[in-house]
Amino acid sequence: MKFLLILLLTLSLPLAALAAPPPLVGLARIDSLRGVLARHPAADTARVKLLLAIGTGYPELQSDSGLHYAAAAERLARRLRWPRGVAGALLCAASSHTTQSNNTTALRLAQQAARLYWKLGDKRAYSRALRGQSNVLYFQGSFTRQLEVARQGLAVCERLGDSVGIAGWYQIHGLGYVGLGLPQKGLGFLRRSLSIYQRRKLPRQVGHLLLNIGLAYQKLGNPTRALGYYAQALPLIRQAQSFLGMQSVFIAMATSYTSLRRYDEALAAADSCYRISKRLRFNRGLAGTFVAKGDVYRLRVADTAWYQRHPVNQATTLAAAIGFYQQALGISTGDAANLEIWRRTYQGLYQTYHLLGRDREALAAYVRYTAVQDSVFSREAATQLATTEADAALALKDREIKLGHLTVRRQQERQGYLLAGLAL
């Protein structure tokens, strides 16, 4: 009887559903491709393509393996004198280096790939190489430069009539504007991108767009609506096994929960981000986790309602917040530097030192915070800032210094520092 029931259900399915099993993703897809590679010993362009297909599947899961296959593909492509294969290998390696936060190397390789594709006249592949460059610039927090690359990529895809490519560049435009503090303008681009991806039924891309729209609403000061988009995005991104996407969702959720004073949920989301980022060795994710935790520890003490229910030791809690911020700065340095991480970290340090009444350190942190803001996301200026250990307190004259719109006085009452810190 059970057999007949199964048979009837099977016969009732459309033939297309029987003929097309669900596509393999993640490690399952890589294992399948490695089996094909083992049965293809010939040193030809088809083998290069297989090596690249395996290599591009690895970066989020095992970036070292991605680099290994990219290097093998590049060696074989150069031996075959096949420039298209060389360009593909460079772009594959750039993706793995991006995951490992080797930003300078990743940007250089993506630029080399773009030049090769341009010489070959392959505009579609050239757009993909520009996409690789924009990813690195986004992870650096260089949103202005990211938008410059995005305009080039969008122009190429519009000439080609590539709707999916256009949607991708709309998405990058939206992210850039959100990063620059123009979320309403970014939201327009993100919605245009989402409509294209939904029409083309691309669930992975839809998941990332929902995440990015949530980020825009968070910037607009609507964390509740942002969490709604994150809840829609997470299952789609998880189904696609996009680990970078998952850590991005969790850190975004941590920020929104913190805004809503749901501190335990914020810490749980930050811990989820930490576990994924640790597995990926994704430094930007690790740094973002520490900033999120620092914000929770700092804001819990300043939240009177929470503090009345949980009378913790203020000094110890704020010292823990400073520790988290310092860990974030320790990770986001050198080649892994990220301007958005610096901005949030120095802002958090400034406010925490104010709460502790440590005036000179508060001033030093505020000088760095305003310098990152004023750099207009210039990586060169911010790098110079990070390597210059100038003590801002030495600039005090007549016990007063004006920093932008805020005047900090060393003789202010402790409560005055608290109000100034919370107002920023």
Q: Which whole number is the average pLDDT over 107-132?
A: 95
235 and 323 share one domain: no
Number of domains in the chain: 3
Query: How many Å apart are CA 293 and CA 297, to the nearest integer?
Result: 6
Is 140 a residue whose pLDDT tops 60? yes
Same domain, 196 and 295: no
CA separation for the pair 74, 35 (Å, rounded): 20
Q: Flag whether 4 is in a domain.
A: no
Residue 107 has a pLDDT of: 94
Q: Is residue 246 part of a domain?
A: no
Query: Rounded distance, CA 144 to CA 424, Å?
Result: 24
Residue 299: inside a domain: yes
Domain presence at residue 337: yes
| Residue 291: partners with Cβ closer than 8 Å, 6 or more residues away | 324, 325, 328, 341, 344, 345, 348
Q: Which of 201, 219, 241 is the last residue of a domain?
A: 241
User: Residue 212, CB half-sphere, CA atoms under 13 Å: how many?
Assistant: 29
Least confident of 130-139, 345-354, 388-397: 388-397
Q: 377 and 337 in one domain?
A: yes
When pLDDT is averaged across residues 318-334 and rounded to a whole number, the result is: 90
Q: Which of 92, 115, 139 is the last residue of a domain?
A: 139
31 occurs within a structural domain? yes
Which domain-ending residue is among 207, 241, 275? 241
User: Residue written as tokens 């290599």?
Assistant: 55
Q: Are residues 77 and 150 in the same domain?
A: no
Taking CA 228 as the corner, what is the angle to CA 264 and CA 250, rounded to the nearest 5 degrees? 45
For residue 156, being part of any structural domain is answered with yes
* Same domain for 300 and 324: yes
Q: Quick one: 157 and 193 in the same domain?
A: yes
290 SS3 class: helix
Return the pLDDT at 109.
96
pLDDT of residue 335: 67
Q: What is the mean pLDDT of residues 336-345?
A: 82
Q: Are residues 299 and 417 in the same domain?
A: yes
Give exposure, 32-63, as e/b (b: 16+ Cβ within 10 Å).
Answer: ebeeebeeeeeeeeebbbbbbbbbbbbbbbbb
Assigned token pair, 335? 């080649």
Instruction: Let me know whether 308 and 391 are in one domain.
Output: yes
- In whole angstroms, give the CA distance from residue 402 to residue 417: 14
Range of the domain at 225: 141-241
- Pick the more confident residue, 63 or 260: 260
- Residue 294: closest CA among 334, 338, 330: 330
Q: Are residues 30 and 124 in the same domain?
A: yes
Q: Are residues 215 and 339 in the same domain?
A: no
- CATH number of the domain residue 104 falls in: 1.25.40.10
Asked if residue 257 belongs to a domain, the reply is: no
The verdict on residue 303 lying in a domain is yes
